[in-house]
């Protein structure tokens, strides 16, 4: 009798324990379900990207931007979506592409080259971050560097200082430099090219250099004609206006400068990697990394009107000695010593 009683008690304890465990498990599952229902899915923020050039031209800069965004905790497909729009050097498409990003309801638009102006025409409310581009204040897109005042902020390229510096560098490496050809876009250069031409004219005047304007489409036949004309007009060296269209034709321009034995200096080091002689300008990968910080602040609630516009902090001076040898030019040792990178 006692044995039966003890067995019954044991079964009762086991049943009680299972009941307690089951109740606890149900309570946990219920709490989880209630919590899941109470918390909505995390928002996927929308970042639009607008560029007048091509994906291949902008790829390395965008890699720097994405890596920096990742460091800041923003991951594509997890908490942000990035929609890319490239005009493929057809500047007339920029307004349409900017409108696409506005209709997509981007939370912020990152723009490069001539993109900021087109984006600003399409929206006065969506924040616009400039990754690289024109002087925003001079272009009338911002009130001041310290307080932009509207929906646009980001990075603004130093203009006259850099152009004067490049002309000075040409003077140091080209004996008796007197006539400089300005390779410029024949049509559609926009505000950016107009600003640059004003700055180049002022810098050339201070350095007592004669400018020969060489307008051209950035295509093979047109560029060949322009370089031939430069030789006929006794141009001693070439300096192109900066822009996404020019950058897209970097290899062709570098090859023609070698063919016609014309020393040239560029804003982007990508020209030198493609065979150009020299470049001096901002570190564009660094500009894109810094643009990521603007986007981060805006997505966290900051207003572009109160985010000061920044200017380049890092600059690169690159020389290609292979090209110098090809065109019969000797780079002075004091100039070589200042280079950040030398291609031998």
Report pLDDT digits (tens) over 45-98.
999 999 988 898 889 899 999 999 999 999 999 999 999 999 988 888 999 999
Q: Are 304 and 119 in contact (CB under 8 A)?
A: no
- Same domain flag for 241 and 270: yes
- Same domain flag for 255 and 132: no
pLDDT number for residue 316: 93
- Same domain flag for 26 and 87: no
CA distances in angstroms from 201 to 103, 159, 182, 213, 226, listed in the order given:
41, 12, 10, 10, 20
Region of 161 (left: φ > 0; alpha: ψ -120 to 50; beta: rest) is alpha
Domain around 65: 45-158+284-306
Query: Per the structure, how many domains does the chain have?
Result: 3
Name the more confident of 57 and 172.
172
Q: Are 152 and 188 in contact (CB under 8 A)?
A: no
Q: Most confidently modeled of 191-195, 196-200, 228-232, 287-291?
A: 287-291
Q: Token pair of 37, please?
A: 């229902």
- Same domain flag for 49 and 188: no
- Same domain flag for 80 and 137: yes
- Same domain flag for 10 and 154: no
- Same domain flag for 206 and 323: yes
In this structure, how many other beta carbons lie within 10 angstroms of the beta carbon of residue 164?
Answer: 17
Closest C-alpha to 139, from 156, 164, 151 = 156
* Residue 243 banded pLDDT, cuts 50, 70, 90: confident
* Rounded CA separation 156/236 (Å): 31
* Rounded CA separation 344/339 (Å): 12
- Same domain flag for 186 and 330: yes
pLDDT number for residue 3: 47
Q: Are 243 and 192 in contact (CB under 8 A)?
A: yes
Q: Residue 320 phi/psi, 5° resolution?
A: -110, 100
13 pLDDT more than 60:
no
Name the more confident of 114 and 68.
68
User: What's the CATH number where 319 sits?
Assistant: 3.40.50.2300
3-state secondary structure the chain: CHHHHHHHHHHHHHHHHHHHHHHHHHHHHHHHHHHHHHCCCCCCEEEEEEECCCHHHHHHHHHHHHHHHHHCCCCECCCEEEEEEECCCCHHHHHHHHHHHHHCCCCEEEEECCHHHHHHHHCCCCCEEEEECCCCCCCCCCCCCCCCCCCEEEECCCCHHHHHHHHHHHHHHCCCCCEEEEEEECCCCHHHHHHHHHHHHHHHHHCCCEEEEEEECCCHHHHHHHHHHHHHCCCCEEEECCCHHHHHCHHHHHHHHHHCCCCEEECCHHHHHCCCCEEEEECHHHHHHHHHHHHHHHHCCCCHHHCCCECCCCEEEEEEHHHHHHCCCCCCHHHHCCCCEEEC
**249-269 pLDDT tens trace:** 899 999 999 999 999 999 989
**277-289 pLDDT tens trace:** 999 999 999 999 9
* Rounded CA separation 192/58 (Å): 18
9 pLDDT more than 60:
no
* Residue 318 banded pLDDT, cuts 50, 70, 90: very high
Q: What would the mean pLDDT of 144-165 be, rounded to a whole number?
A: 86
**What percent of the chain has pLDDT above 90?**
62
Q: Are 242 and 229 in contact (CB under 8 A)?
A: no
**What percent of the chain has pLDDT above 70?**
85
Q: What would the mean pLDDT of 309-320 be, rounded to a whole number?
A: 93
- Same domain flag for 298 and 319: no
- Same domain flag for 235 and 335: yes
- Same domain flag for 186 and 198: yes
Q: Token pair of 293, please?
A: 């910080």
In this structure, how many other beta carbons lie within 10 angstroms of the beta carbon of residue 263?
Answer: 23
Distance of CA 222 to the CA centre of its chain: 27
pLDDT number for residue 158: 64
Q: What is the rounded average pLDDT for all residues in the chain?
A: 86
Closest C-alpha to 243, from 52, 88, 107 = 52
- Same domain flag for 240 and 289: no
pLDDT number for residue 2: 46
10 pLDDT more than 70:
no
* Rounded CA separation 212/183 (Å): 9
Q: Are 191 and 134 in contact (CB under 8 A)?
A: yes
Which of 273-277, 281-285, 324-328 has the least mean pLDDT? 281-285
**26-48 pLDDT tens trace:** 555 454 444 444 344 678 999 99
């Amino acid at each position: 009798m006692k044995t039966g009683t003890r067995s019954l008690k044991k079964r009762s304890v086991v049943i009680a324990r299972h009941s307690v465990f089951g109740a606890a498990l149900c309570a946990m599952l219920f709490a989880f379900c209630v919590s899941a229902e109470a918390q909505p899915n995390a928002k996927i923020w929308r970042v639009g990207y607008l560029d007048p050039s091509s994906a291949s031209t902008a790829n390395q800069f965008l890699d720097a931007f994405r890596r920096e965004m990742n460091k800041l905790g923003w991951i594509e497909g997890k908490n942000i979506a990035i929609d890319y729009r490239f005009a493929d050097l057809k500047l007339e498409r920029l307004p349409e592409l900017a409108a696409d990003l506005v209709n997509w309801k981007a939370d912020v638009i990152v723009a490069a080259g001539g993109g900021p102006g087109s984006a600003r025409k399409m929206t006065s409310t969506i924040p616009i971050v400039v990754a690289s581009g024109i002087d925003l204040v001079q272009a009338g897109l911002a009130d001041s560097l310290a307080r932009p005042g509207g929906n646009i902020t980001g990075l603004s390229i130093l203009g006259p200082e850099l152009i004067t510096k490049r002309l000075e560098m040409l003077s140091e490496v080209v004996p008796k430099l007197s006539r400089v050809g300005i390779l410029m876009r024949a049509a559609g250069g926009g505000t950016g090219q107009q600003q640059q031409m004003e700055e180049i004219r002022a810098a050339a005047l201070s350095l007592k250099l004669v400018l020969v304007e060489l307008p051209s489409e950035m295509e093979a036949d047109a560029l060949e004609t322009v370089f031939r004309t430069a030789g006929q007009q006794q141009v001693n060296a070439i300096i192109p206006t900066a822009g996404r269209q020019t950058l897209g034709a970097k290899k062709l321009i570098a090859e023609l400068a070698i063919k016609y034995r014309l020393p040239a200096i560029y804003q982007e080091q990508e020209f030198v990697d493609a065979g150009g002689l020299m470049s001096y300008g901002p570190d564009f990968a660094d500009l894109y990394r810094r643009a990521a910080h603007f986007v981060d602040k805006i997505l966290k609630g900051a207003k572009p009107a109160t985010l000061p516009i920044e200017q380049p902090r890092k600059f690169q001076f690159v020389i290609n000695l292979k090209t110098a040898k090809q065109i019969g030019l000797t780079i002075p040792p004091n100039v070589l010593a200042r280079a950040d990178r030398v291609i031998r």
